[in-house]
């Protein structure tokens, strides 16, 4: 069973690696074109889209690195291996997005007083090509973005970049027909404000995992209740649930069950946790007597629950 799981996990990781490699190749190729075009057309919106595309490329590169490093085996210094590098990569990615967004807003503010002459047709052609590249990358990454924070970060990057390209196309059309050069800066600001909330979500998710927070999909109260419903379980303490990476969830708990058949209880508890709560990495301590410190901990917990 375990071997099959490891094999399927390795297959998924390899598939993600190929997807990210293709998306990175597309993004980097177009990034160079967009930077050159941004300077030639004098468009800040195009340059801001290029800056965002740069963070795309770096984010994809980091995500690739996270997969490579995450596959390194555990050793005596890192018994969990390097799986958490995925979360560090997502956090670094978010930080970089934030810096780019602030830069775009500052540059737009500078330009509002003196908008430069912008070549709208070149701007529109490049932005349209950029949108096509982003849509292809999104199609490649979409299926893996649901169940992997690293892939989700990369997907959100490309998605927000695609919307940026749409904004640039709209700005180019408006400038072409009206000659309102300031529209370019407005779109650049909109792109900046579009990036910021998504950055915050990624930071929040990453920091939650790094702080050993209970994963969002786990209902800890229901989990505690379910364990207490197991036959002969009279108490539970030292219950801890955390995630190493976006999908690798661990649980430890002490179950006070003086009358229980230990093997039967252990089997029932692990089955319950795997099937009802999706947690397979489990460490359970089954006790037939409670030591004083743990008893106090339990009393304090029960008291807290009672007062709550």
What is the per-residue pLDDT for 36?
87
Q: What is the total count of domains within the chain?
A: 2
Residues 74 and 139 in one domain: yes
What is the per-residue pLDDT for 105?
82
Distance CA 108, CA 261 (A): 70
Residues 14 and 48 in one domain: yes
Residues 195 and 227 in one domain: no
Residues 63 and 157 in one domain: yes
Asked if residue 93 has pLDDT above 50, the reply is yes
What is the per-residue pLDDT for 272?
92
What lies within 8 Å, CB to CB, of 3 at 6+ separation is: none
The DSSP string of 206-258 is HHHHHTTPPPTT--HHHHHHHHHHSTT--EEEEEEEEESSSS-EEEEEEEE-T
pLDDT range class, residue 12, cuts 50, 70, 90:
low
Structural domain boundaries enclosing 266: 220-307
Report the mean per-residue pLDDT for the chain. Answer: 80
Per-residue pLDDT tens digits for 127-152: 899 899 889 988 888 877 776 776 77
Asked if residue 108 has pLDDT above 90, the reply is no
Residues 129 and 278 in one domain: no
Per-residue pLDDT tens digits for 291-300: 544 444 444 4
Residues 145 and 12 in one domain: yes
12 in a structural domain: yes
**Where does a domain end: 210, 231, 249?**
210
The residue that leads in pLDDT, 199 or 304, is 199
**Where does a domain end: 150, 180, 210?**
210
183 in a structural domain: yes
**Where does a domain end: 210, 238, 254?**
210
Residues 40 and 128 in one domain: yes
Per-residue CA distances from 86 to 73, 138, 205, 268 (Å): 15, 20, 12, 33
Residues 294 and 273 in one domain: yes
Residues 153 and 225 in one domain: no
Residues 231 and 167 in one domain: no
Name residue, tokens 């979409």. Answer: 142
pLDDT range class, residue 224, cuts 50, 70, 90:
very high
- Contact between residue 98 and residue 35 where contact means Cβ atoms under 8 Å apart: no
215 in a structural domain: no
Distance CA 137, CA 56 (A): 11
Distance CA 49, CA 67 (A): 27
106 in a structural domain: yes
Output the domain CATH number for residue 283.
3.30.70.1350
The DSSP string of the chain is -HHHHHHHHHHHHHHHHHHHHHHHHHHHHHHHHHHHHHHHHT-HHHHHHHHHHHHHHHHHHHHHHHHHHHTSPP-SS-TTTTTTHHHHHHHHHHHHHHHHHHHHHHHHHHHHHSPPP--HHHHHHHHHHHHHHHHHHHHHHHHHHSS-HHHHHHHHHHHHHHHHHHHHHHHHHHHHHH--THHHHHHHHHHHHHHHHHHHHHHHHHHHHHTTPPPTT--HHHHHHHHHHSTT--EEEEEEEEESSSS-EEEEEEEE-TTS-HHHHHHHHHHHHHHHH---EEEEEEESS--HHHHHHHHHHHHHHHH-
């Amino acid at each position: 069973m375990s071997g099959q799981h490891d094999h399927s996990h390795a297959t998924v990781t390899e598939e993600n690696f190929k997807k990210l490699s293709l998306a990175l190749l597309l993004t980097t190729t177009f990034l160079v074109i967009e930077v050159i075009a941004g300077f030639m057309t004098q468009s800040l919106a195009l340059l801001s889209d290029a800056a965002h595309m740069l963070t795309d490329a770096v984010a994809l590169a980091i995500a690739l690195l996270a997969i490579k490093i995450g596959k390194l085996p555990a050793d005596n210094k890192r018994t969990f291996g390097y799986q958490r590098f995925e979360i560090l990569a997502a956090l670094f990615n978010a930080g970089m997005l934030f810096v780019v967004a602030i830069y775009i807003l500052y540059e737009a503010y500078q330009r509002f007083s003196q908008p430069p002459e912008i070549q709208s047709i070149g701007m529109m052609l490049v932005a349209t090509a950029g949108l096509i590249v982003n849509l292809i990358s999104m199609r490649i990454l979409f299926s893996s973005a649901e169940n992997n924070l690293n892939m989700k970060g990369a997907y959100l990057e490309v998605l927000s970049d695609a919307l940026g390209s749409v904004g640039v196309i709209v700005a180019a059309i408006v400038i072409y027909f009206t000659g309102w050069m300031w529209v370019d800066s407005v779109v650049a600001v909109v792109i900046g404000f579009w990036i910021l909330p998504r950055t915050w979500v990624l930071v929040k998710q990453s920091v939650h995992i790094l702080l050993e927070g209970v994963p969002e999909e786990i209902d800890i109260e229901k989990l505690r209740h379910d364990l207490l419903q197991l036959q002969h379980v009279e108490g539970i303490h030292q219950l801890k649930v955390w995630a190493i990476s976006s999908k690798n969830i661990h649980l430890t708990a002490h179950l006070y069950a003086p009358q229980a058949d230990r093997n039967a209880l252990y089997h029932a508890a692990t089955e319950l946790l795997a099937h009802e709560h999706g947690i397979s990495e489990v460490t359970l301590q089954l006790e037939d007597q409670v030591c004083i410190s743990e008893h106090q901990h339990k009393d304090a917990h029960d008291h807290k629950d009672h007062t709550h």
